[in-house]
Amino acid sequence: MRMKITMLMLLLFASIQTSWADSDEVNLYSARKEALIKPLLEEFTLETGIKVNLVTGKASALLQRLLTEGRNTPADLFITTDAGRLHRAREAGVLQPVLSPQLSSVVPANLRDADAYWYGLSQRARPIFYVKGKVDPQQLSTYEALADSQWKGRICIRSSGNIYNQSLVASMIANIGETKTEAWAKAFVANFARPPKGGDKDQIKAAAAGRCDIAIANTYYVAKMLTGKDQDLKKAAEAVALFWPNQSDRGAHINVSGIGMTSAAKNRENAIKLMEYLVSDKAQQWYAQANQEYPVKKAVQASPTLQSWGEFKSDGVALSRLGELNADAVRLMDRAGWK
């Protein structure tokens, strides 16, 4: 009798586990704000019947949550911004590889992890913005040239603690080597108009206010300033123009927002379906229009605002290298006095 009860309990437990793992849902931790991802998730649910349970938060906080929860995390997927953060998630052991022919065929090789731990969902570039009427674009050429003395006291940029700048420096290490990058960084820092502070929008606002003539910022921030309802932000963005650097050599620096499956995922099939949905034409078009980011899918057009900035050559370095070189970049920036 006792054996029969034990067997029944085991069968019941197995049934519950199977139901939990194969339920029509998927759990997503996202560093993208809810407004920038939820409409897509709702469309996914309408099309597939799979419910998406969404938790949003700061990138570092969500990664720490995954580490704390360990194998008990409910999360099946993790979305975060910047290849450096995606690499940190992989190194922390919270992601697992996903082998998907659809993802591999859509996402270019340099925009995904070489071992399939994460895939880029959207692109952003980090070019040069200059104040109209104060800078002749003929004076501009490359990131390296911003170390020239003509830019003394004329550059605004975020701090070295910002992952976007760390990845920019990591890309330079990958392309021109650490020695040349450090020499550049020291001269570049000497050209700052002020100690780094604030976000990308603050750099554009400072340039528009006359604090500097050059600002480095991600394209989607400026595009949102131009298309948003805040008239002060729009006016500031209208005061600057974009210049694509390094077009005669490696191309402008780019990065991604990306997705990976957690190592403890319990809804694997549904998770893969969502990952593949997010690189579909419909999802990529939504990213392009609502988020003002460049699609990873080549056939999908960028938003009118991004298109107005023209086509450009982008750096083809594998973005996984940016994560691998992140620690080197941080140490180099510290040695250069980049606060």
Which pLDDT belongs to residue 20?
A: 40
SS (H, E, C) 275-311: HHHCCCHHHHHHHHHHCCCEECCCCCCCCHHHHHCCC
256, 31 Cβ separation under 8 angstroms: no
Q: What is the CATH number of the domain that holds 204?
A: 3.40.190.10
Q: In the block, which residue shows the tokens 């034409």?
A: 281
Regarding whether 119 and 167 lie in a shared domain, the answer is: no
Does residue 2 sit within a domain? no
Does residue 108 sit within a domain? yes
Regarding whether 154 and 92 lie in a shared domain, the answer is: no
Which pLDDT belongs to residue 188?
A: 98
Which pLDDT belongs to residue 260?
A: 98
Does residue 180 sit within a domain? yes
Q: What is the per-residue pLDDT across 196-231, written as a single tens digit (0 to 9) for each?
A: 999 999 999 999 999 999 999 999 999 999 999 999
Rounded CA gap, 281 and 102, in Å?
A: 12
Does residue 79 sit within a domain? yes
The dihedral of CA 169, 171, 174, 176: what is its sign?
A: negative
DSSP secondary structure string for all residues of 54-75 = EEE--HHHHHHHHHHHGGG---
Regarding whether 214 and 66 lie in a shared domain, the answer is: no
Regarding whether 111 and 56 lie in a shared domain, the answer is: yes
- Report how many domains make up the chain: 2
Q: What is the per-residue pLDDT across 315-333, written as a single tens digit (0 to 9) for each?
A: 999 999 999 999 999 999 9
Q: What is the per-residue pLDDT across 300-309, written as a single tens digit (0 to 9) for each?
A: 999 999 999 9
Regarding whether 239 and 135 lie in a shared domain, the answer is: yes
3-state secondary structure of 141: coil
Does residue 293 sit within a domain? yes
Domain carrying residue 203: 125-252+319-335
Regarding whether 175 and 144 lie in a shared domain, the answer is: yes
Regarding whether 244 and 104 lie in a shared domain, the answer is: no
Mean pLDDT, residues 91-109: 97
Helix axes 178-189, 163-176, angle to 10 degrees: 130
Which pLDDT belongs to residue 35?
A: 83
Q: Beta strands 155-156 and 214-216: pairing type?
A: parallel
Mean pLDDT, residues 93-111: 97
Q: What is the per-residue pLDDT across 259-293, written as a single tens digit (0 to 9) for each?
A: 999 999 999 999 999 999 999 999 999 888 888 99
Mean pLDDT, residues 180-189: 98
Mean pLDDT, residues 188-192: 98
Regarding whether 60 and 190 lie in a shared domain, the answer is: no
Regarding whether 242 and 327 lie in a shared domain, the answer is: yes
- Report which residue type is found at 111: L
Q: Give the global pTM.
A: 0.90
Which pLDDT belongs to residue 34?
A: 87
Regarding whether 284 and 195 lie in a shared domain, the answer is: no
Mean pLDDT, residues 92-114: 97
279, 120 Cβ separation under 8 angstroms: no
3-state secondary structure of 258: strand
Which pLDDT belongs to residue 290?
A: 86
Mean pLDDT, residues 24-52: 93
